[in-house]
Amino acid sequence: MANPILAAPVSARPVPAAGALRDGLVGVAIFGGTLTATRLALASFEPVALTLIRAALAGLAAGAVLAALRQPTPRRADLAALAVVSFGVVLGFPLFTAFALGQIGAGRASVFVGLLPLATSIFGALRAGERPSRAFWLLSGLGSAVTAAFAARGAGPGSLLGDGLMLAAILVCGLGYAEGARLARRLGGWQVVAWATVLALPATLPAALWLIPEHARAVTPAALAGLAYVAALSSLVGFVFWYRALARGGIAVTGQLQLLQPFLGMALAALVLGEAIDPLMPLVAAAVAACAAGARRLA
């Protein structure tokens, strides 16, 4: 029997909500470790180097899988959309978050992930023609306002810069998610992110080969583990499930599952990095998650 995760392309025909929910939760769980893993990797890699090396490693792995499974090359008409995905999730989000984590902790950065469902929904409406209800937009906007209010609370110069970088990361990621989900309906979920990473290889591979020797001697085991996580899981495996869920369950509705990521991110930041968690962080995340749950029900 064919592996349903690797089966392609994904049909636009709706599937049972449980299937999209399951895939979405797996994707969210994987992405929940991204900020903590990035913080670990930054101990040995500069932000630009980390972004390019992780993208190149993901591209090489994706290219090998595409070749082994003899996947057809995308149509010329798909290249522009794949470039958007590459810009948003292969390069843009990793780069902005890496710079942001030089200014703020992974726990604080995780709070901003609460804005991803709104960003994804907005781009889903713009790029995929989805039309959620007014109640959906109201609750999604309320959740985003709560996140913004928390971010503004007691923010100093360094955190303001980090917060701004996280906002930029959320915007480009939402664009990449929505564009990738639109393509996944035709190309298949894992194929979209695989081709997006391969498309970036002409830029990322030469740069990575130039940067690796500079950082190789100073790489710690923890930083290497962080790099392996973001290159393999955050850049590839997570998207196998996530794009599949978005394509089958709807971009706006399924995207609300991302509200679970702040909880995971904060827990990992405390357990792995030993970061002190602001007592308001879990409360803010819970309030935003409640808004997202309501939005998902009323979409």
The ranges of the chain with pLDDT < 70 are: 1-18, 127-130, 132, 148, 151-158, 213, 215-217, 296, 299
pLDDT of amino acid 183: 86
9 lies in a domain?
no
Cα dihedral 249→233→257→113 (10° resolution): -130
281 lies in a domain?
yes
**How many structural domains comprise the chain?**
1
Q: What is the pLDDT of residues 11-63, one digit of tens each?
A: 444 444 667 888 888 999 999 999 999 999 998 999 999 999 999 999 999 99
92 lies in a domain?
yes
pTM tops 0.85: no
User: What is the phi/psi pair of residue 13, to 5°?
Assistant: -65, 130
16 lies in a domain?
no
pLDDT of amino acid 172: 94
Q: What is the pLDDT of residues 192-211, one digit of tens each?
A: 889 999 999 999 999 999 98
14 lies in a domain?
no
- Domain span at residue 242 reads 23-298
Q: Do you know the residue count of the chain? A: 299
2 lies in a domain?
no
192 lies in a domain?
yes
15 lies in a domain?
no
